[in-house]
Chain A
Amino acid sequence: MAEIVKKKDEAPEKAAKLVNPDSVSVDPATIIMLKKAQRDGIETIFDRAETMKPCNIGAEGICCKNCAQGPCRLPLTKKIKDGLEPDKRMGLCGATPETIAARNFARMVASGAAAHSDHGRGIAQVFLAAARKETGDYQIKDTRKLLQIAPDFGVATTVMDGDVEKQRSIDEIAVEVGQKALAEWGKQNGEIVYAKRAPKPRYDLWKKLDVIPRGIDREIVEIMHRTHMGVDQDYENITKQCTRAALADGWAGSMIATDLSDVMFGTPYPLHGEINLGVLKQDHVNMIVHGHDPLLSEMIVVAAQSKDMLDYAKGKGAKGIVLAGMCCTANEILVRHGMPIAGNYLQQELAIITGAVDAMVVDVQCVMENLANVAMCYHTKLITTDPRAKIISGETVHIEFDEHHAFEDAKKIVMTAIDNFTNRRADVLIPKQKEQMVVGFSYEAINYHLGGTFRGSYTPLNDNIINGRIRGIGGVVGCNNARTMHDSAHLIVVKELLKNDVIVLTTGCNAMACGKAGLLTPDAAQVYCGPGLAEVCETVGIPPVLHMGSCVDNSRILMAATEVVKAGGLGKDISDLPAAGCAPEWMSEKAISIGQYFVASGVYTLFGVMLPVTGAPKFQKHLFEDMEGIYGGKWDLVEDPYEMAAKMIAHIDLKRKALGIDKARDRVLMDMADRRAMEA
């Protein structure tokens, strides 16, 4: 049975209410703020994690609430587990632990895929509106990226004018791309178009297995149907549908969200950034945008930088406006504009506790309801903006954000923050901690930086993997989780990988953990990396951990992996690569969807904390073992971050061996006959 709560010492009943700040986070700013919270008498998620323990049955995935005859709870006894007793567990309707855990798991995939994809739909809608010039606030900015993705949608980029081929008008291309992209959600049959972006053997495998998503919405709805009482009661068949919905997330909903965001707001290229609560400024209006959707944050960036808003702020006695991000919204505006980040998921309440935040503006996902309660204790205005995401608690204000008058709405929001500046109270504490970062490694940017305008390619990466300077690629992503020490597992896994010459690609809240620990700086290479990786980082001038963006930008990792395959020398499919992925501190259902699409794309994917499948051994085996035979990737659960890194490295070594690059190779010296034999 998974040990879920692992960090706390058994404290006596009474004192248990107050958490020991030093034991729940490795981030100094967080610890300082937790101490202030305690002084101020504010309860946070850290405290509740201490007092409210998770339900074991739910945590093991074997509680079914899918009909009113339940909840049916099927605890896994020690005797069954040890094989001393046959496993005859079943719900009222006869549902086995496998069926129940698989259904629960599927619903997490559905929810996660829905979250990403609904976000993506919003982007696609605004994209189309922008292309049609129905909104003046959003534009088609990165035409190069538009031309790059148009062929994937079968959209012509040139037209014939008599006999001459001419560039087609950007507006026309954009409208058609927008229409075709948006159609991906409602498609009933056929295949999502980006499936073909995967390496050919991967696509063929999906085709053979019949798991290529038909349309984004359809696969999610189908999960909800199949997991209704008395429908799909075959855990393998349910898992297959999980794959469809997850692929529809990674290779469609998320990927389209990323691509269209890039076209509208610019493809990220490396730039500087700053992170942690220390980015807030006492004498400035401090605004935090929190959530996920760049549509809102992009516009607030423009508004907060506009002259009239700055003047307005000055009129209120502020020196300027600090706009900082939180969670994935932060990543979006960081990688595109270098806007500072206040912190990751578990720091959201703490930002308010500084007493320096004049407004926290939220949209969707990962926004804790408790923000409303915390905000009430300070002057902070909590502003919800999305009609799909309102908060009833506290004094939350709702200022609806509508893309048709996005800039006006954004200004209204910024003004609300500025107006609130004068309400600051005396007890402000902004921790000093902030770190420098170099971020913005889209797969296009990696390509460029490995060879410049004329020779850009993934070949140097592959080459140095083949020659062993780089041992492999680790994707470390995902959330924070209040059940485990904040940022601790993230940093341990990443540092272990670096030490062993594994280059790390990161997104989401892991990226922020790395940022706060200084791992996103070029200097980190010499401090944390093995000699080979350090040398490569030094050559290219990159940090050893490449920040690729938000959680939807995990699609960038898929594309990077695909580019690596295409660059050659490391096998024919993603599953051949010496690579592994993990989410050491995951908590969101989105993570489950991400995990499933990585596994189905051929990646060994490890989760920390817990996985709600441990109460259903056969289903767990299906995910942890059988999947590898089917997809070349598999799930794993490892709580100890050291062990997690070790398992990733062992997997990487296995793949290196299979590729025959586990031993040093001789330099190949070419004579003329060798050159003639070369491929054209």
Chain B
Amino acid sequence: MSRLVAFAAIQGGYNIVSKAEGTLKRAIEEYGPDKKLEFPNTAYYLPIIYSILGIPVKTLGDATGVMEITRKLLPAHIKGKNHLPYLGPLLDAGMAALFAEEIVEAVRYITNPDFYYVSEECDPENGKIWLGAAEDTVFRKRGVEFVDGTAPGFAAIVGAAPTPEIAKNIAEEYQKRNLYVFMCANQNGTTFTEQLIQAGVQVGWNTRLVPFSPEINGAVFALGFANRAAMAFGGIKPGDYKNILLYNKDRVFAFVNAFGDVNAEWAVNAAGCVNWGFPTIADTDIPEILPTGVCTYEHVVGNVAHEDIVNRSIEIRGLKVTVATIDIPLAYGAAFEGERVRKDDLYLELGGGKTQAVEWVTMKGMNEVEDGKVELFGPDVADVKPGSRLPLAIVVEVAGRNFQEDFEPILERQIHHLINYAQGIMHIGQRDISWVRVSKQAVEKGFSLKHIGTILHGKLHQDFGSVFDKVQVKLYTEKDKVDELTATARKIYQTRDQRVETMTDEAVETYYSCTLCQSFAPTHVCMVSPERTGLCGAYNWMDCRASYQINPTGPNQPVEKGECLNPVLGNWKGVNDFVYKASRQKVSSYNFYSLMQEPMSTCGCCECIAAVLPTCNGVMTVNRDYTGETPSGMKFTTLAGVMGGGASSPGFVGHSKYNIIQGKYILGDGGLLRMVWMPKILKEELKEKLIKRGEALGYPNLIDMIADETVGITEEAIMPFLQEKGHPALSMPPITG
């Protein structure tokens, strides 16, 4: 039976490659070989070809060379009797097909630029469904979820389910398990994506249901995404195909679900995926390939019933996922976090400007808390008409022997995503600017505001159970009470902030490591001190400390900083020893406060990257969300490509946004006064704090001296500006030492 698969797939490979040759030839005839060939906003060229062959395809002409390699990769057809071995050739044919398809898809961006909607979200009302290749900003934002484990993998769905209902159920099951669903191809013109839309499901990156393409070629977008992860987070060099693919096999838990008849072209794509270790699970009676080896377990499994396909697929891929079991009438999981409640769907709105909403976690005595108790004071959803507004206060009272006041903000920060995980409920903001939207669909399913309490009780216990014993939740929807609680909470926020802001590295003996990202960047170790928050922005020192207490063998370990070897650069013996071990002997020493000398390593999921600008005698930093060029000559994504994957690269360092306004920020190189360029959005975001830091450093108008893209995107262009403003960096000692 494998022979039949091989026979058909290799045939499919020939079809795809021949078609691609034609497409490329016509494109060259029309646009010339020098025409730029690219996916939108990426530093990874055509990512499959780039990662596997190491060839950066930049023009139609470059693609010709790759097409030749592709053609050569196609194996001989399989004879019926007494055939030669076919597994290796089959996988080669698969790879050839993917190269060819990637070129075809890139050409499509030239010949039919409106085919794909370059966006993170779909716009089904206007018929803009198909998203095509993810831009690097999207890739990084979503890739980080693969890295930190919030998304354990993805299901690449090919074809269409028998009915929209079945499609919806399957998608929801994957969402509940936090997996991404990447969709492509059609079955006689019907697509899984359109089925979902028909069934009223929101699609797009934000709900993790990503419509790549109505054609099978769209498979390359999923695999290109995976290979970018290997390069960006795994630090694997383009062209090191073996490790790129093994990285995917071992760390990216993806698989293919084929719905409907599998034709030769689907088969060769499935074969291509096997190179990645991604098996295919189908709902039709296709020849199975069960022996293991290239994939971790089975390679092709057929005839799986729709109600089993989600669990079977996950098991076949060797993935362990836990479904959150929260006793509410709504589906629940990280995938629903990004789902919107739009105006038309809105039933009830709490907070968000029109009414006040606040959330507050507070510690109580053991006898003051009855675990699991949820009380609602004021009207519930059922008591109001559709389209109503109410104020809201969520008070979470926690008690337990291990609980400390310091954990309050950590638990409080969970409220946002924990509520957001419920399907049909949207949560925005935090603290006293919190905002909850409840959809009509949620109300139809029987949602009550008390379920917010159920969610918080259940999930906080699940994730933080080791630091407290009891939790109870009080919800208020009466204006007076909400206003009163808001006032109380505000005072507390202020004291908390002061505590965090005034903490210094000198004041503690213990730092915390973070190796959460080692699932993707196996040699990367973050070291988090009070004045050097984790470079991803997600973890500060207090978080790490709490996380250690919650899970003493987890990714955050206390590290005695030990003898200080260099106070200016921020170098400690204890830290170095730990890093050496935890980086698996890859990094022996790094500095907390320098980008010029042995800077900290970066895993690729940093919020910002700072780079030296030698001509300006200063540094610049750029945040992940800014897609434009920078004076370093590289976009964020190129910078991240240069230094991601756990390497320490002098002249560059990854850091969090918040770190910029912390006192020790690149102090070894002169501190914040070196900052000569930042993207405008970043300046805006940090405005208040930047002004405050400037004042503290004796330059109250520092923020105005820092150039941005409106001033220029080259060193030469911003230099006159800096001179005119009298930027302090210009008079500092040479940064290049």
User: Is the C-beta of A671 less than 8 angstroms from some C-beta in chain B?
Assistant: yes
Contact status A452-B87, CB under 8 Å: yes
Point out the residue from A456, A459, A539, A541 that lies within 8 Å of B83, measured CB to CB: A541
- Chain A 158-200, CB-CB to B under 8 Å as 1, else 0, gives 0000000000000000000000000000000000000000000
Q: Once the chains are docked, how many angstroms separate the CA of A462 from the CA of B291?
A: 11
User: Is the C-beta of A451 less than 8 angstroms from some C-beta in chain B?
Assistant: yes
CB distance from B81 to the nearest CB of A (A): 7
Q: Once the chains are docked, how many angstroms separate the CA of A261 from the CA of B241?
A: 30
Q: Once the chains are docked, how many angstroms separate the CA of A279 from the CA of B520?
A: 57
Chain B residues numbered 1-60 whose CB sits less than 8 Å from any CB in chain A = 1-3, 6, 52
User: Is the C-beta of A449 less than 8 angstroms from some C-beta in chain B?
Assistant: yes
Bin chain B's interface residue count.
Answer: 35 or more
Q: Once the chains are docked, how many angstroms separate the CA of A270 from the CA of B290?
A: 23
Chain B residues numbered 203-231 whose CB sits less than 8 Å from any CB in chain A = none
Contact status A672-B92, CB under 8 Å: no
User: Is the C-beta of A438 less than 8 angstroms from some C-beta in chain B?
Assistant: yes
**Residues of chain B contacted by A679 (CB below 8 angstroms):** 522, 584
From A228-236, A314-322, A662-670, the one touching the partner chain is A662-670
User: Is the C-beta of A571 less than 8 angstroms from some C-beta in chain B?
Assistant: no
**Residues of chain A contacted by B315 (CB below 8 angstroms):** 667, 669
User: Is the C-beta of A675 less than 8 angstroms from some C-beta in chain B?
Assistant: yes
Chain B residues numbered 574-600 whose CB sits less than 8 Å from any CB in chain A = 584, 586
Say whether, besides A535-B291, A540-B87, A667-B318, A672 and B2 are in contact (CB < 8 Å): no
**Residues of chain A contacted by B291 (CB below 8 angstroms):** 460, 463-464, 469, 535-536, 539
Contact status A460-B292, CB under 8 Å: yes
Contact status B515-A452, CB under 8 Å: no
Contact status B241-A438, CB under 8 Å: no
Least CB separation from B277: chain A residue: A455
Say whether, besides A438-B84, A521-B82, A670-B320, A460 and B95 are in contact (CB < 8 Å): no
Contact status A541-B320, CB under 8 Å: no
Contact status A463-B292, CB under 8 Å: yes
Point out the residue from A464, A668, A672 that lies within 8 Å of B149, measured CB to CB: A672
**Residues of chain A contacted by B454 (CB below 8 angstroms):** none
CB distance from B29 to the nearest CB of A (A): 31
**Residues of chain A contacted by B95 (CB below 8 angstroms):** 452-454
Q: Once the chains are docked, how many angstroms separate the CA of A539 from the CA of B288?
A: 9
User: Is the C-beta of B164 less than 8 angstroms from some C-beta in chain A?
Assistant: no
Say whether, besides A452-B87, A469-B291, A678-B250, A671 and B82 are in contact (CB < 8 Å): no
User: Is the C-beta of A676 less than 8 angstroms from some C-beta in chain B?
Assistant: yes
**Residues of chain A contacted by B89 (CB below 8 angstroms):** 452
Least CB separation from B78: chain A residue: A541
Chain B residues numbered 232-283 whose CB sits less than 8 Å from any CB in chain A = 241-242, 245, 250-251, 253, 274-275
User: Is the C-beta of A20 less than 8 angstroms from some C-beta in chain B?
Assistant: no
Contact status B88-A450, CB under 8 Å: yes
Chain A residues numbered 414-469 whose CB sits less than 8 Å from any CB in chain B = 436, 438, 448-456, 459-464, 467, 469
Contact status B6-A538, CB under 8 Å: no
User: Is the C-beta of B410 less than 8 angstroms from some C-beta in chain A?
Assistant: no
Q: Once the chains are docked, how many angstroms separate the CA of A541 from the CA of B88?
A: 9
Say whether, besides A449-B85, A672-B149, A464 and B292 are in contact (CB < 8 Å): yes
Q: Once the chains are docked, how many angstroms separate the CA of A670 from the CA of B322?
A: 11
Contact status A669-B319, CB under 8 Å: yes
Contact status B88-A449, CB under 8 Å: yes
User: Is the C-beta of A272 less than 8 angstroms from some C-beta in chain B?
Assistant: yes
Point out the residue from B73, B86, B293, B515 that lies within 8 Å of A541, measured CB to CB: B86
Q: Once the chains are docked, how many angstroms separate the CA of A295 from the CA of B341?
A: 79
**Residues of chain A contacted by B242 (CB below 8 angstroms):** 454-455
**Residues of chain B contacted by A453 (CB below 8 angstroms):** 73, 88, 91-92, 95
Q: Once the chains are docked, how many angstroms separate the CA of A448 from the CA of B75?
A: 13
Contact status A460-B518, CB under 8 Å: no
Contact status B88-A672, CB under 8 Å: no
Least CB separation from B518: chain A residue: A676
**Residues of chain B contacted by A538 (CB below 8 angstroms):** 1-3
User: Is the C-beta of B604 less than 8 angstroms from some C-beta in chain A?
Assistant: no
**Residues of chain A contacted by B82 (CB below 8 angstroms):** 272, 436, 438, 521-523
CB distance from B87 to the nearest CB of A (A): 4
Point out the residue from A450, A670, A671 that lies within 8 Å of B87, measured CB to CB: A450
Point out the residue from A454, A464, A535, A540 that lies within 8 Å of B85, measured CB to CB: A540
Q: Once the chains are docked, how many angstroms separate the CA of A270 from the CA of B292?
A: 22
**Residues of chain A contacted by B304 (CB below 8 angstroms):** none
- Chain A 649-680, CB-CB to B under 8 Å as 1, else 0, gives 00000000000000000011111111110111
**Residues of chain A contacted by B92 (CB below 8 angstroms):** 452-454
User: Is the C-beta of B722 less than 8 angstroms from some C-beta in chain A?
Assistant: no
CB distance from A520 to the nearest CB of B (A): 10
Q: How many residues of A contact B (CB 8 A)?
A: 45
Point out the residue from A271, A463, A541 that lies within 8 Å of B2, measured CB to CB: A541
Contact status A669-B320, CB under 8 Å: yes
Contact status A676-B515, CB under 8 Å: yes
Contact status A671-B152, CB under 8 Å: yes
Contact status B294-A271, CB under 8 Å: no
Contact status A270-B319, CB under 8 Å: no
Contact status B83-A522, CB under 8 Å: yes
Say whether, besides A541-B6, A542-B85, A454 and B241 are in contact (CB < 8 Å): yes
**Residues of chain B contacted by A464 (CB below 8 angstroms):** 291-293
User: Is the C-beta of B321 less than 8 angstroms from some C-beta in chain A?
Assistant: yes
Q: Once the chains are docked, how many angstroms separate the CA of A628 from the CA of B1?
A: 43
Say whether, besides A438-B82, A539-B289, A675 and B87 are in contact (CB < 8 Å): no
Chain A residues numbered 261-308 whose CB sits less than 8 Å from any CB in chain B = 270-272
Point out the residue from A271, A467, A540, A670 that lies within 8 Å of B292, measured CB to CB: A467
Q: Once the chains are docked, how many angstroms separate the CA of A463 from the CA of B2?
A: 18
**Residues of chain B contacted by A523 (CB below 8 angstroms):** 81-82
Contact status B320-A674, CB under 8 Å: yes
- Chain B 295-339, CB-CB to A under 8 Å as 1, else 0, gives 001010000000000000001001111100000000000000000
Point out the residue from B81, B87, B516, B522 that lies within 8 Å of A451, measured CB to CB: B87
Contact status A676-B555, CB under 8 Å: yes
Q: Once the chains are docked, how many angstroms separate the CA of A679 from the CA of B584?
A: 9
Contact status A672-B152, CB under 8 Å: yes
CB distance from A79 to the nearest CB of B (A): 57
**Residues of chain B contacted by A455 (CB below 8 angstroms):** 91, 242, 245, 274-275, 294
User: Is the C-beta of B638 less than 8 angstroms from some C-beta in chain A?
Assistant: no
Contact status A676-B320, CB under 8 Å: no
Chain A residues numbered 520-538 whose CB sits less than 8 Å from any CB in chain B = 521-523, 535-536, 538
**Residues of chain A contacted by B275 (CB below 8 angstroms):** 452, 454-455
User: Is the C-beta of B90 less than 8 angstroms from some C-beta in chain A?
Assistant: yes
Q: Once the chains are docked, how many angstroms separate the CA of A269 from the CA of B519?
A: 38
User: Is the C-beta of B601 less than 8 angstroms from some C-beta in chain A?
Assistant: no
**Residues of chain B contacted by A451 (CB below 8 angstroms):** 87-88, 91, 293-294
User: Is the C-beta of B523 less than 8 angstroms from some C-beta in chain A?
Assistant: yes
Contact status A541-B245, CB under 8 Å: no
CB distance from B586 to the nearest CB of A (A): 8
Q: Once the chains are docked, how many angstroms separate the CA of A324 from the CA of B321?
A: 60
Least CB separation from A453: chain B residue: B92
Contact status A669-B87, CB under 8 Å: no
**Residues of chain A contacted by B299 (CB below 8 angstroms):** 539
**Residues of chain A contacted by B522 (CB below 8 angstroms):** 676, 678-680
CB distance from A448 to the nearest CB of B (A): 5
Contact status A463-B320, CB under 8 Å: no
Q: Once the chains are docked, how many angstroms separate the CA of A456 from the CA of B242?
A: 9
**Residues of chain B contacted by A522 (CB below 8 angstroms):** 3, 82-83, 85
Contacts A/B (CB < 8 Å), 29 sampled: A270-B84, A270-B85, A450-B87, A450-B88, A452-B87, A452-B95, A453-B92, A453-B95, A454-B245, A454-B275, A455-B294, A460-B291, A462-B293, A521-B82, A539-B299, A540-B87, A541-B2, A541-B83, A541-B84, A668-B318, A670-B319, A671-B321, A671-B322, A675-B251, A676-B518, A678-B522, A680-B522, A680-B584, A680-B586
What 6 pairs across the A-B complex have the smallest Cβ distances? A460-B293, A452-B91, A672-B149, A680-B522, A669-B320, A541-B86
- A452-B91, A454-B52 given; 8 more Cβ-contact pairs under 8 Å: A451-B87, A452-B90, A454-B241, A455-B91, A539-B291, A541-B6, A669-B318, A670-B319
